[in-house]
Amino acid sequence: MIVALIIACEVGFWVLLAAGLAVRYLLERRRTSVVLLLCEPVLELVLFVVTAVDLRNGAEPSWEHGLAALYIGFTVAYGHYTITWLDGHAAHRLAGAPRPPRPPRYGLARARHEGRLWLRTLLAAAVACALLQAAIWYVGEGDTSSLRMFQWVALRALGIHGLIALTYLIWPKKAPADAAARSKEGRTLTGR
């Protein structure tokens, strides 16, 4: 049941997001779109409550409960970022706004960008581990090994993402020579 609810929450997230952006840019009803987009956190709240009730009713803690905690953590950390990113692209495509800026591709700017994404992953892991620890305390004496396993999954994901982000700092990707020459030429032509 929990897995079906996680899938329903994910589908609901994208349906609400598409509806909110369509209402905002196609129907030009900003307040209605804000209401639709503010319904997004309700999905995670429902998932959290159903998971807690399932455990309270005596369900054995399982991988489904761990997956629910990871999903909630990811949504807390990356939900607003995803909505903002898609809103910028929808404004560009549907309302004629300028193209949203791309993330930096080279050098220290890229390393900073990857570091900020890693901080989001840190938040996701912290939320997931906190929810899982609360579930472990809530269950008490029962078998909580599956919940502990998902705490390690969150920490491993955090570590792997941290290593990837660190590589951008240690070995920054350099801009191609022709791109750097064009950039220098453009500055010369504009007098900057």
**DSSP secondary structure of 60-112:** PP-HHHHHHHHHHHHHHHHHHHHHHHHHHHHHHHHH-PPPPPPPP-SHHHHHH
pTM: 0.84
Report CA 174 to chain centroid distance, whole Å: 27
What's the mean pLDDT in 143-165? 94
Confidence of residue 1 (pLDDT cuts 50, 70, 90): confident
Asked if 158 contacts 122 with a C-beta cutoff of 8 angstroms, the reply is yes
Report how far residue 186's alpha carbon sits from residue 155's, in angstroms, rounded to the nearest whole number. 45
Average pLDDT, the chain: 89
pLDDT higher than 50, residue 189: no
Please name which of 92, 7, 81 lies closest in space to residue 47, comparing C-alpha atoms: 7
pLDDT higher than 80, residue 43: yes
Report how far residue 42's alpha carbon sits from residue 11's, in angstroms, rounded to the nearest whole number. 13
CA atoms within 13 A on the CB side of 27: 13
What's the mean pLDDT in 163-171? 95
Confidence of residue 180 (pLDDT cuts 50, 70, 90): low
What's the mean pLDDT in 163-182? 83
- Report the percentage of the chain scoring pLDDT > 70: 92
Report how far residue 74's alpha carbon sits from residue 130's, in angstroms, rounded to the nearest whole number. 13
